[in-house]
Amino acid sequence: MGSRASTLLRDEEIEEIKKETGFSHSQITRLYSRFTSLDKGENGTLSREDFQRIPELAINPLGDRIINAFFPEGEDQVNFRGFMRTLAHFRPIEDNEKSKDQNGPEPLNSRSNKLHFAFRLYDLDKDDKISRDELLQVLRMMVGVNISDEQLGSIADRTIQEADQDGDSAISFAEFVKLRC
Ligand SMILES: [Ca+2]
Ligand SMILES: [Ca+2]
């Protein structure tokens, strides 16, 4: 006991994070020690390099984009609260049943927040639309080398054709949601 991790995280903070993210007390303290072990600068925040040491992200084709999702616009450090808020999107939806709060805000791991999170992984220029190029970039990262550019291009075209309802040749969030149904 008396480790750095347990001394720095106050009970009130754990309570607030619990309410905000739906993680349990023990999950929060466990993730806090993971956070501090990744925090090589020992300044209470993580940089992109800190994240790149996580093996699961290093091998994920979308790793860099997932890492970016942790960082608020224009910032290159994320604190524990921000870290937990992003992680909350990955909690399974069923977990909400245990901690349902009818009057509370929509949980971060709701279906719609999860879809928003996925949508933002595609929408690099943040114009709230997925263009053909943005879709192609993700397809290329995910399928690797076995598919030619032409084949990828026609997959992208077909996906956009299927999803695009307002005829702007791009996928809006509303169109994206229907595509996933
Ligand atoms: Ca876009
Ligand atoms: Ca459209």
Distance 122 CA to ligand 1 centre (A): 7
Residue type for position 4: R
Distance 172 CA to ligand 1 centre (A): 9
| Least confident window among 100-104, 162-166, 176-180 | 100-104
| pTM for this prediction | 0.80
Distance 133 CA to ligand 1 centre (A): 9
pLDDT of residue 56: 87
Query: For residues 57 and 51, is the Cβ–Cβ distance under 8 A?
Result: yes
For 74-106, how does the pLDDT look when each residue is reduced to its tens digit (9 = 90+)? 899 999 999 999 999 989 887 655 555 666 778
Kindly report the average pLDDT of the chain as a whole number: 88
Distance 167 CA to ligand 2 centre (A): 5
For 36-51, how does the pLDDT look when each residue is reduced to its tens digit (9 = 90+)? 999 998 999 999 999 9
Q: Which ligand ends up closest to the CA of 128? A: 1
Is residue 6 scored above 60 in pLDDT?
Answer: no
Report the greatest alpha carbon distance in the chain: 60
**Measured distance CA(36)–CA(84) in Å, rounded:** 13
155: left (phi over 0), alpha (psi -120 to 50) or beta: alpha
Distance 37 CA to ligand 2 centre (A): 43
Question: Which two tokens mark 45?
Answer: 């925040």
Distance 59 CA to ligand 2 centre (A): 32
Range 5-13 average pLDDT: 75
| Least confident window among 28-37, 113-122, 140-149 | 140-149
Distance 141 CA to ligand 2 centre (A): 23
Q: What percent of the chain has pLDDT over 90?
A: 67
**Measured distance CA(98)–CA(95) in Å, rounded:** 6
Burial 145-170 (b: 16+ CB within 10 A, else e): eeeeeeebeeebeebbeebbeeeeeb
Distance 128 CA to ligand 1 centre (A): 6
Closest CA to 35 of 90, 95, 78, 71: 78
